[in-house]
Chain A
């Protein structure tokens, strides 16, 4: 059950983050002020991809609640960083961001860190 919940957290976080990044890039620069955050809310209401991103985030959130009830937070949070590696790959191929060798090395370091944390 522990690993199933962790997989749900990672998968839904990955989908949510990629959709959020894609949607917000297309929507353009949002202000960092309070009205800017209001604009983000309006974007969520008007864009299907952002609404789906929030739905995935909600799935991730409830799986997190269930997992953190029985597992230490010092395990749950770093282990869920597995999404980091997948998202870096998707940032390159889906979002067309440039992922250089050093960036890939960094992602590998994170992956090793996750293995240590999950032991």
Chain B
């Protein structure tokens, strides 16, 4: 006799809105959080790296921006930015902005670290302290229990 499949009720992670989701979707949301957190600092690194190699100074002339976007590292950074934007928008459809912002802000420290390692930027003690304080504040926000909002009628 075939065993009957049990229906399991799973609560969404803290900060995620209560929408009907499967366990795999929740795991996917956590995966998205990790992707969104990592994509931004790496795309920032490639953009900064590429822009340092770009000889012209950016002004209000759009042609200069277009030429800058053709730099290989800048182009890679742009592709990563687009992926970041789409994954983050997808994340924002299932999680609150005030949850996504702090949790993904670990990227601020990672950006500082990447700048120090790959671009050999001098990072003063106060700048390190600031980056750590930003992360601590972000972690504090992330630890708060989050009342979720309804999907429809926001801001009405």
Say whether A and B bind each other.
yes
Q: Which of A20, A25, A117 is within 8 Å of B154, CB to CB?
A: A25
A114 within 8 A of B: yes
B90 lies within 8 A of A91 (CB)? no
B48 within 8 A of A: yes
Beyond A28-B93, A113-B132, list 20 extra A-B contacts (CB 8 Å): A17-B97, A24-B92, A25-B92, A26-B152, A40-B90, A40-B93, A69-B51, A77-B111, A78-B108, A84-B101, A84-B105, A95-B96, A95-B97, A99-B98, A109-B133, A110-B133, A113-B131, A116-B126, A116-B127, A119-B127
Given A25-B154, A110-B134, A116-B127, A73 contacting B111 (CB threshold 8 A): yes
Inside 8 A of A108's CB, which chain B residues have their CB? 137
Inside 8 A of A55's CB, which chain B residues have their CB? none
B50 to nearest A CB, angstroms? 9
Residue of A nearest to B154 (CB): A25
Q: How large is the interface on A (under 10, 10 to 19, 20 to 34, 35 or more residues)?
A: 35 or more
Q: Which B residues have a C-beta under 8 Å from some C-beta of A?
A: 17, 19, 21, 25, 28-29, 31-32, 41, 44-45, 47-48, 51-52, 54, 57-58, 65, 68, 74, 81, 85-90, 92-94, 96-98, 100-102, 105, 107-108, 111-112, 114-116, 119, 121-123, 126-127, 129-147, 149, 151-152, 154-155
- Cα–Cα distance between A49 and B92 once the two chains are bound (Å): 14
A33 to nearest B CB, angstroms? 8
- Main DSSP-derived SS at the B contact region: helix
A95 lies within 8 A of B111 (CB)? no
- Cα–Cα distance between A88 and B142 once the two chains are bound (Å): 12
Q: Which A residues have a C-beta under 8 Å from some C-beta of B?
A: 17-18, 20-22, 24-33, 36-37, 40-41, 43-44, 50, 54, 57, 61-62, 64-66, 68-69, 72-78, 81, 84, 87-88, 91-92, 94-100, 102-103, 105-119
Residue of A nearest to B94 (CB): A29
Inside 8 A of B123's CB, which chain A residues have their CB? 72, 74
